Structure 1
């Protein structure tokens, strides 16, 4: 695939143009058109209009030049489009875990406007102590494992969507028919995240403080839904309900 810049293409085009001009002049000056025609006519004398012949050569070389330029430009445009698509995907995914990020979650919330939607915000309990004991490498492994477990749960939920919002905070989006659907998902998340996570230095456990907010028929926009769920999550985190704390809004 071509990655030449427009400036590079312009230089190549100019060189091809000069070559076409030089070939045309050489043909006219040396009488090559007459010679070619006489050869083809078995030495019969035939006067070919030099200007017509020169024009034919010039137009042929120019057409080849333009076709090549068009091919290169198409290749460059395709490359740019692929790069833009890659950049869009990267901008919507978390660099560490590979799952969607906050921007992707907000966009998904906007897409689900008008539907019965529950947003669960999850904050890990005890994550700081794991970072302190096992370093950032250990903390990163915990975040990756939490992401994998949430993605596994997502696969069984209707319209499920998981995102890492930053740090040790995650979002979980799903379609619901009643508050019981959200409560059931919250219980499963808390249960699965509480299972030990095995690191090279040993096993660790984290808890989950979860806050939820429900949008009924799109009456709550994405920003409001996030704010309500965030408030509920911090209420749950500060409530003295160990080891698993669940708050709703």
Structure 2
């Protein structure tokens, strides 16, 4: 018994060291999955979470792109632009909620994506209106009131021929680009047919349900 106790005592520092090492690795891994500016999951982390979630039922896949963000950066500087990115991330989390199966992410630059459980498609326009209003609300920064627009595209996975995240993101991106071409707001993709690629690398917009904020 004394030998066992002695062995455990001797191994204590080593075990403690391995525990701390494992804790540091887990924290680094978690940090790598989060965008350091917005605090949202990165594209890779979002794609992993979303792919698993899609197998559990119908969802809405959203793609958002800020309107006028470059002008904010050029006029006020990148520090203010960073604040707009953080504010947009906060709006996404506030509207979509946490712990209900929704996932929001920053894809890069001023583009975001989200996955929302949505068994009833009737609720989607209400969600998009609320999200649009939250993102475009004035953002206070050091005594300045900043505003940006946003174009939002949405795709209902229940309307797709297969449960495919890349396909859903492409549909949502098409709808987002159509909303942007019409001056911003939101648009819902309404069909499975693809359209030709634009010179900007995105897809041209298809017909769909559209809105402009409170419309």
Does TM-score exceed 0.5, indicating one fold? yes
- Aligned partner of 1:17 in structure 2 is none
Q: Give the alignment of 1:1-249 within 5 angstroms.
A: 64=6, 66-112=7-53, 113-155=55-97, 158-200=100-142, 202-216=144-158, 219-237=162-180, 239-240=181-182, 242-249=183-190
Cα distance in 1 between the residues matched to 2:35 and 2:98? 22
Local SS of the residue matching 1:216: helix
Cα distance in 2 between the residues matched to 1:144 and 1:176? 26
Cα distance in 2 between the residues matched to 1:173 and 1:152? 14
Local SS of the residue matching 1:177: coil
For residue 201 of structure 1, report the CA deviation from its aligned partner: 5.6
For residue 68 of structure 1, report the CA deviation from its aligned partner: 4.6
Question: CA contact under 8 A between 2:80 and 2:141: conserved in structure 1?
Answer: yes
How many residues are matched?
A: 187
Cα distance in 2 between the residues matched to 1:165 and 1:134? 23
Moved more, 89-98 or 147-156: 147-156
Unaligned runs of 5+ in 1: 1-58
Greater share of strand residues, 1 or 2? 2
Greater share of helix residues, 1 or 2? 1
Alpha-carbon spacing, 1:68–1:111, altered in 2? closer, same or farther (3 Å): same
TM (normalized to structure 1)? 0.67
Cα distance in 1 between the residues matched to 2:56 and 2:143? 47
Local SS of the residue matching 1:115: coil
Question: CA contact under 8 A between 2:128 and 2:186: conserved in structure 1?
Answer: no
Structure showing greater Rg = 1
- Aligned CA RMSD, in angstroms, stands at 2.5
TM (normalized to structure 2)? 0.77
Cα distance in 2 between the residues matched to 1:206 and 1:135? 14
Question: CA contact under 8 A between 1:114 and 1:216: conserved in structure 2?
Answer: no
Unaligned runs of 5+ in 2: 191-215
Cα distance in 1 between the residues matched to 2:80 and 2:48? 31
